[in-house]
């Protein structure tokens, strides 16, 4: 991308979105390009991201779509990606924290945190902190959380190092609770000048669900969306004119505002997670300086 004009030179608004190589993010990136955004995709697999870029450019011939490397599970990679975004984007109108994963067995990130928590929460937390000062007035930050947050608990003493009794579902649920807690705490800090909202996209047949579950899911879940339908709430929260100024909310798969879980609304827990995440990611100085 060296020598390319800054993102947004041809198209007015700039969107940054994580995890667009598959699933909900791939559709969201395409539809943001169709809606007139210059789109910067942050992905850990640049070959796959490049294939998606070409696909979007076929669908939206005047699109401006760029791909940058970012492994959300590694703080150093997130920092490098944020620096690269700052070179490409003079301002950011929309940040979509979409990427997410699950891990069947307990694994640690290179920084020593449980991998699901590191990828789904700490990486996006750091990325958002590093890009917040680039957000344009009236800009939007949208995080793809999950209804799974409702059954989660969060013990901050158990997200670092190897822990007994690992359960993949519990680790995923905890990471999604962290998404909602982070979103609400950030909304409070940004005070509506830049809006911050999160959402549940529905149960969506993507790579996130194990293949066997994708096959049997329709048998016991009446509604399993495809990725096109799964991207609908993200796009609504990102684009709907009536949501200008709306902040600190959680939306469901039908684009309706919903009450998040009691724990997600617990302000002391939001603040404990914020303080720990800032300390662990090294974003403390940056955030205190705001
Ligand atoms: N599917 C559902 O039913 C469902 C329900 C509720 C919430 N969600 C949420 O929706 C979001 C999108 O998930 P999806 O269902 O579309 O899943 P998906 O098809 O598996 O896509 C996930 C995306 O995240 C990327 N990703 C994973 N780990 C990453 C890392 N370390 N660094 C950078 N990118 C990474 C993946 O990249 P690679 O190609 O490199 O793996 C992929 O592009 C997630 O936040 C998920 O938690 C999904």
Output the residue whose Cα is nearest ligand 1's atom 39. Answer: 21
CA 226 to CA 269: how far, in whole Å? Answer: 34
Q: pTM for the full model?
A: 0.96
Output the residue whose Cα is nearest ligand 1's atom 25. Answer: 19
Active-site residue, selected from the candidate residues 113, 172, 225, 280 = 172
Q: Specify the range with the lowest mean pLDDT, choosing from 98-102, 125-129, 221-225, 257-261.
A: 221-225
- Tell how far the Cα of 219 is from the centroid of ligand 1, in angstroms: 23
pLDDT of residue 1: 47
**Tokens standing for 248?**
């600190």
CA 275 to CA 277: how far, in whole Å? Answer: 6
- Tell how far the Cα of 144 is from the centroid of ligand 1, in angstroms: 9
Q: Using a 6 Å cutoff on CB, does residue 177 contact ligand 1?
A: no
Q: For residue range 199-238, what is the model confidence (pLDDT) as tens digits?
A: 999 999 899 876 666 666 665 566 789 999 999 999 999 9
Q: For residue range 170-210, what is the model confidence (pLDDT) as tens digits?
A: 999 999 999 999 999 999 999 989 999 999 999 998 998 76
Residue 155 — very low, low, confident or very high, per pLDDT cuts 50/70/90?
Answer: very high
Q: Where in 156-202 does DSSP place strands (E)?
A: 195-199
250 annotated active-site: no
- Tell how far the Cα of 215 is from the centroid of ligand 1, in angstroms: 18
Q: Which domains occur in the chain, in start order?
A: 13-281 (3.40.50.720)
Q: Using a 6 Å cutoff on CB, does residue 44 contact ligand 1?
A: yes
């Amino acid at each position: 991308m060296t020598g390319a004009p800054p993102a947004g030179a041809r198209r007015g608004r700039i969107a940054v979105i994580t995890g667009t190589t598959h699933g909900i993010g791939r559709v969201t990136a395409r539809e943001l390009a169709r809606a007139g955004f210059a789109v910067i995709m942050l992905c850990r697999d640049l070959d796959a991201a490049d294939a998606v870029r070409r696909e979007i450019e076929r669908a939206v011939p005047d699109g401006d779509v760029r791909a940058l490397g970012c492994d959300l599970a590694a703080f150093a990679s997130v920092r490098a990606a944020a620096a690269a975004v700052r070179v490409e984007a003079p301002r950011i109108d929309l940040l979509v924290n979409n990427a997410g994963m699950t891990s069947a067995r307990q694994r640690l990130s290179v920084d020593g945190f449980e991998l699901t928590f590191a990828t789904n929460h700490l990486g996006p937390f750091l990325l958002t902190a590093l890009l917040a000062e680039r957000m344009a007035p009236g800009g939007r930050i949208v995080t793809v959380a999950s209804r799974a947050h409702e059954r989660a608990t969060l013990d901050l003493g158990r997200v670092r190092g190897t822990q007994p009794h690992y359960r993949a579902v519990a680790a995923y649920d905890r990471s999604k609770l962290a998404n909602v807690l982070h979103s609400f705490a950030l909304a409070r800090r940004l005070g509506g000048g830049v809006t911050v909202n999160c959402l549940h996209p529905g149960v969506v047949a993507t790579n996130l669900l194990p293949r066997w579950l994708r096959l049997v899911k329709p048998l016991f879940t009446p509604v399993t969306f495809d990725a096109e339908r799964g991207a609908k709430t993200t796009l609504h929260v990102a684009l709907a004119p009536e949501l200008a100024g709306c902040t600190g909310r959680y939306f469901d798969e039908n684009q309706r505002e919903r009450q998040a879980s009691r724990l997600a609304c617990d302000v002391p827990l939001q603040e404990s997670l914020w303080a720990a995440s800032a300390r662990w990611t090294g974003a403390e100085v940056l955030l205190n300086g705001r």
